[in-house]
Amino acid sequence: MSVASPDLCERTPHRPTSRPPAEREPLLSDLSAWLRTVTVPPLAPEQAWGADRAERVRLAALGGMAAALLQASDHELERQGVNVWPAEVAAWLGGPHPPHELRDRLLQSLEDDDDVLADLYLRCVSPVGRRPLGTFFTPPALAGHMVSHIQQMLPSAPRTVIDPGAGVGAFTRLTTAQWPEANHVAVDVNLATLGLLIVRCHLQGRAVSHTDAWGARGDLNGHAELGIAKDYWSRQTSSIVTPRLQDFLEWLACDYSRTSAPRLILGNPPYVRHQAIPSEQREAARHAAGSLVHSKLAGLSTYFTAASLASLSPEDSLCLVLPSNWTEAHYGRGLREHLWTLHRRRVELHTFPDDEVRLFPGAAVGAVILFVGPVAETAQPFISARTRLGAEGVSIVDSRQSDRSRSLPATFTLEALRAPAADNHHSRATPALLHAYQLGDVARVRRGVATGANAVFLLKDEVAEGFPPSMRLRAISRLRTLETPVLDRSVWNKLAADGARCWLLKLPACSALTDLPPAIGAYLTQQIEAVPGLLARELVRRRHPWWVLERVEAPSILVSPMTKTEHRVVMNAVGAVPTNTLYGVYVDEPGVSVRAVTDWLRSSQGQAAMRAASRSQGAGLRKLEPRALSSLMLPKDL
């Protein structure tokens, strides 16, 4: 059961304060042009993980721009020097300065509370280069909504505010204004963004500590050990910002308990998919998350959330904007179960419509805001809110209170949280399906083969012709161009003739490339040279030898799991092996018609069942997991 929570709906939308992007364009264009002309050594790869050399040069050049801003804004800062900065950030400041006119325009933009630093970073590093660190900047209106909303939830002001994945300071500059007496900890592994955050704090008059300002504040004389001049401290502000160039999970384990309670963890954790997390980091993240995350399919933001929740003391709180995957995915079940049982903490989940807002540019995923309050003396509500981010800012459209005495909902979508208790399942028994069975009762469902390098292992017809027939298999990686319900030889031949990569290498486990047929050995040697970092890729590196793929077999039916409209379903008459962009359905039960199962999955009833079982990815895109596909109820007379 769920009941309305009108108090949330009546709150005034939080409106954005930064100028429209179009008004920043001339400045951003001029800054970008200057950065491309600067000659400086690039940042080391480990200082800007994922960025290419040209991008690392531009990030290094940002340091000189930052130093120019400081010198122009306050002679006291110049006199004070950089002894309060982390060593790596202090070194970063040594680049050439931009022309005074360009510097002054940027300084004026920052004084107008503009969001120009985030946009400038986006100009320096491509989406591909930002992906390994999960760098997505939070819209000002969204950050303001989160700070305003959590402030209304808290019974008292926090003494410590922690920003995980702090970026250029979208949250830190708001929290220092909202809670000036608190200690503020900004944690990030990105040297350039943390440096820009520190610059922004100095420009706002926030004291920046290079040591741990934990515990009680004491008097002003006690801050001499932080490298902060007493006159600068007393003249500027009471806020302390402690920047930490460090992995947040490591900081959480080592330093969180040393800070003063009540604490608030507030921010936008990095969005890094599980495939992009190095295996050593993934194991450390799973250890930090404890029992709240069991699956290796969780992304980095899920590990951040789980580890943060596990670290909260009774008076601590949390407010994070997250990709919405965990609210539906199997790997998020432990997290959902934990939140559902926090009866004495107020929990709120604010969900944005998929087709209305993209908070994670370049990623087909929706967004939710998770609020978790401190432990109270009485039972607290679990609130689900439908939220919008528009021209007027963030507003709460409607909200409902869920009954936590009932069993855990299957997912944390708005529909599941607000559904009657008996209706909270993907597959529902109806009179027409009382004697139906699950697809998993008659078939296996599994993802296609993951090569780790499709450009190497998937071949076009003209390349495959030069290899032995025993070392190549018919393959298929996408269904969207198929108009027929059956993939037979004629349809597959047309795909190959049109230039699709329709062959998959199937190579034996010999000890060296020289043991393979000469044509294949030469081809693989050429690919090692042509594809940068091929042997260092996660899947390739884990295989021994690297050219031997997992055991592959052709399924009976091919299913496309991602769609904005209908899931494509094709009977696999030609015996093509799917890549991991597709699912294979292996009908094993004697007497079950593959054609009948295919036709039902393609029917309006089958499509409706798949849509109900799928989960939202944002921007109208939905994804069907193998487990959900296996659980579909088939008609008894199929």
In a domain, 544, yes or no: no
> Count of alpha carbons within 13 Å of 157, Cβ hemisphere only?
11
- CA 208, CA 195: separation in Å to the nearest integer? 11
> Same domain, yes or no, for 452 and 416?
no
Tokens 């429209």 — which residue? 20
Cross-strand bridge partners of residue 577: 475
Q: Is residue 432 part of a domain?
A: no
Pairing of strands 207-208, 240-245: parallel
207 domain-assigned: yes
pLDDT(10) > 50: no
C-alpha–C-alpha distance, residues 8 and 6, integer Å: 5
Are 239 and 353 within one domain?
yes
Domain boundary among 421, 449, 478: 421
User: Cα 219–166–84 angle (5° rounding)?
Assistant: 40
Instruction: Tell me the per-residue pLDDT of 77-94, one tens digit each, with 9 for 90 and over.
Output: 443 433 456 778 888 888
- C-alpha distances out from residue 154 to 316, 368, 396, Å: 9, 20, 19
Statement to judge: residues 455 and 346 lie in one domain? no
Cα–Cα distance between 302 and 365 in angstroms, integer?
14
Helices (DSSP H) in 312-354: which residue ranges? 333-340
Model confidence pLDDT, tens digit, residues 532-570? 889 989 889 889 899 999 877 899 999 999 999 999 999
| Cβ density class 552-589: b for 16+ within 10 Å, e for less | bebbbbbbbbbbeeebbbbbbbbebbbbbbbbbbbbee
d(CA 73, CA 76): 9
- What band does 422 get if pLDDT is binned at 50, 70 and 90? low
Q: DSSP per residue over 204-270, as a string?
A: TT-EE-SS---S----GGGGGGGT--HHHHHHH-S-EEEEEES-HHHHHHHHGGGSPSSEEEEE---
In-domain check, residue 520: no
CATH number for the domain that contains residue 133? 3.40.50.150
Q: Is the pLDDT of residue 204 over 80?
A: no
Which pLDDT does position 270 carry in this prediction? 85
What residues have CB less than 8 Å from 81, skipping those under 6 apart?
none
Class of residue 503 by CB neighbours under 10 A (exposed 0-12, middle 13-18, buried 19+): buried
Q: Is residue 535 part of a domain?
A: no
Does one domain contain both 324 and 180? yes
Structure tokens at 522: 């030469």
Say if residue 410 is in the same domain as residue 498.
no
297-330 pLDDT, tens digit per residue, is 888 899 999 999 999 999 999 999 998 888 888 8
Do 395 and 334 have their domain in common?
A: yes
Q: Which domain holds residue 405?
A: 2-151+159-421
- Look at residue 345 and tell me whether its pLDDT is greater than 90: yes
Write down which residue in 421, 453, 469 finishes a domain: 421
- Which pLDDT tens digit goes with each residue over 114-163? 678 888 888 888 877 777 777 777 888 889 999 999 999 999 999 999 99
Q: Is residue 292 included in any domain, yes or no?
A: yes
Final residue belonging to a domain, choices 388, 421, 454: 421
Closest-CA residue to 136 (of 268, 22, 25): 268
Q: How far is CA 9 from the centre of its chain?
A: 28
Distance of alpha carbon 221 from alpha carbon 107, whole angstroms: 32
**Same domain for 335 and 457?**
no
Q: Do residues 279 and 392 share a domain?
A: yes
618 Ramachandran zone, left/alpha/beta (phi>0; psi -120 to 50): left
Structure tokens belonging to residue 592: 């079950």
Domain shared by 374 and 460, yes or no: no
Q: Is residue 282 part of a domain?
A: yes
* Placement of tokens 């799991």 in the chain: 561
**Whether residue 627 sits in one domain with residue 484:** yes
In a domain, 532, yes or no: no
Please answer whether residues 32 and 123 qualify as being in contact, where contact means their C-beta atoms are separated by less than 8 angstroms: yes
CA dist 567 and 70 (Å) reads 55
Residue 77's pLDDT is what? 45
CA angle 3, 412, 565 (to 5 degrees): 110
In one-letter notation, the amino acid at residue 167 is G
- Alpha-helical segments (H) within 74-139: 75-80, 87-92, 100-111, 116-124, 127-130
| pLDDT > 90 in the chain, percent | 42
Rounded CA separation 327/609 (Å): 19
User: What CATH number corresponds to the domain at position 582?
Assistant: 3.90.220.20
> pTM, whole model, 2 decimals?
0.68
One domain, residues 409 and 492: no
SS3 345: strand
Residue with tokens 């007493």: 230
Q: Give the number of domains in the chain.
A: 2
Verify that 402 and 466 share a domain, yes or no.
Answer: no
